[in-house]
Every structure is written in structure tokens, then in C-alpha cells.
Amino acid sequence: MKDESSEPVKAGGRYRIEALAKGLDVLRLFDETVTSLKLREICDRTGIPMATAFRVVATLEEGGYLERLPDGSIRPGVAVLLLGSAALRGSSLAQLSEQPLRHLAESTGETVNLGVLVSDQVLYLARLRNSDLVTANIQVGSTLPAAYTSMGKLLLAFLPDDELAATLANHDFAANAGPNAARSLDELRERLAAIRAQGYSLQDQEVAAGLRSVSVPVFGRETRPAAAINIAVASSRHDVESLRGPLLEQLRATAEDISRLLRAT
């Protein structure tokens, strides 16, 4: 019998291979909080029938993109990590930012990050970490809720209100936040308005207790930021006012250096 799932289907002016789309849907299930799933859970979350999900998982497993644990759970395989690393290495944004960020980290002695907005999350493209920082579990490729981070709030602040509402439509303001995080979209909107007015974003223990950061935008040739960079510090070492002083000045200078490089490419 012919398997129609492998045939290209024209949708939206482009050709879509359903089997490939299903495989990507499965891979997208895994993130910082979902590291392994049973086959039934994959079916429930994607809506893919069990028989089809079995074949999709088996194919991805054969290629090294998924691997099966002794208890039958399925998790991302090494091939996914290799693809992600290659994508990050190939990113012109990450490459152009490397030296300015390294200089910033060395001159301040603090952790510096480069991030972009992906749906309602901030994806970390670069991270140079001070060993004193409390968030040891964040690394290149990690994501955090944009509504709680300085980089995320900065990038959200540039979205039109309808796009902002759509981006955060599924965000749970009651989950996984620090003590000072916004607890509603209306409260976040007030903070974003202040960020737009001042041109930078502060995060004061909104991601987690003990962590503060300040962020500024990086621009290419578009009116919206291409990315954001920040300096992240332990609250025991810096109060909020200190982030508005020399650290912010150095951060802005670094952002301008990176923006010039982006505009020149």
C-alpha cells in the first residue's frame, strides 16, 4: 500500500511532506522541562496516531535523532545536539557577537548573554558565564520564558500589542517565576511600556531569587531588534541601581559594536 504521508502536499504555496512535518512535531516536544516521553505521551501531545508515531520515532531513532531509554522512554539523541551546535556555530549573529561579548565579560567580570525571541521564549545564542552566578543550568541553546528575563522583556517591548497578546497567549504567569515576576499580562504591559521609554530592560529576581540583569537591544538593518544582550549578576553583589550605572554604559557600547557589525554584513 502506498504511504501517502511521504508524499508532498502543496499547502500555502509550498510543498509539505507530512511525514517530515510529523517528525519535526515530535522533536519539538522536547525542551528544558520535557527531556523524555513515552510513546503514548508523544501521541497524546501531537495527535499523531500510535502506528504512525511508532514509525516516526523508529525512523528518528535510526538516524540518531532520538534514543530509547531502558524503561521505554524516548529522549533526544546526539544527532539533535550536533545539528543544534552546527546551527549556532553557523549563525552570523553569534559569530559577529563573539569578540565584543568576550571583551564585555572580561572587562566587567560578569556573565554576559546574547538571546533572540522564539515564540514566548528567549533562546540563548551565546553565554559567557561568571562562576559566581546562580543560574548554572543555563547554557547556549537553553530557553527561558521571555516575560521574566531582561532580554525577553526587551524584545517583547518592541512587539505591537496584538502580536504581544498572541505571543503570550499560552504563557502561565503563575508558573516557574521568581518572586518579583509579573503576574498578569496587564502588569507585564506596564513594565514593557517603561522599557520602551528608557531603552533598556532590568530584571530584578523575576527569573529566580538572587539573580538580576540588565539588557539592551542589538539592531541590524530592521527597525526591530535582531537580538538582545545582557549582563547578569548575583543580587548579593549588585543592587538594581548599580545596573543603571557603568555596567549599562558598557553594555550599550557593546551593543552598538555588534549592531555596526550586523549592519555591515
Domain holding 23: CATH number? Answer: 1.10.10.10
Q: Are residues 201 and 141 in the same domain?
A: yes
Q: Are residues 120 and 199 in the same domain?
A: yes
Rg, the chain, Cα only: 21
Q: Are residues 248 and 123 in the same domain?
A: yes
Note the pLDDT tens digit of each residue in 71-129.
Answer: 999 998 867 766 665 565 546 888 889 999 999 999 999 999 999 998 898 989 899 98
**Residue finishing a domain among 49, 82, 115:** 82
pTM above 0.85, yes or no: no
Note the pLDDT tens digit of each residue in 212-249.
Answer: 999 999 999 889 999 999 999 988 888 899 899 999 99
Cβ pair 250, 107 in contact under 8 A: yes
Cβ pair 77, 188 in contact under 8 A: no
- Neighbour-count burial of 118, counting CB atoms closer than 10 A to its CB (0-12 exposed, 13-18 middle, 19+ buried): exposed
**Residue finishing a domain among 25, 59, 82:** 82
Q: How many CB atoms lie within 10 A of CB 257?
A: 18
Q: 155: domain range?
A: 91-264
Q: Are residues 39 and 110 in the same domain?
A: no
Is 171 a residue whose pLDDT tops 50?
A: yes
Distances in Å between the Cα of 257 and the Cα atoms of 11, 48, 101, 107, 224 are 42, 47, 10, 15, 17
Q: Are residues 171 and 142 in the same domain?
A: yes
Count of domains forming the chain: 2
Q: Are residues 74 and 156 in the same domain?
A: no
Cβ pair 237, 124 in contact under 8 A: no
Distance CA 93, CA 184 (A): 32
- 129: which 3 cell numbers? 558565564
**Residue finishing a domain among 82, 112, 145:** 82
Is 252 a residue whose pLDDT tops 70?
A: yes
Q: Are residues 102 and 8 in the same domain?
A: no
Q: How many CA atoms lie within 13 A of 74 on its CB side?
A: 23
Domain holding 169: CATH number? Answer: 3.30.450.40
Distances in Å between the Cα of 22 and the Cα atoms of 30, 40, 56, 118 are 14, 15, 7, 20
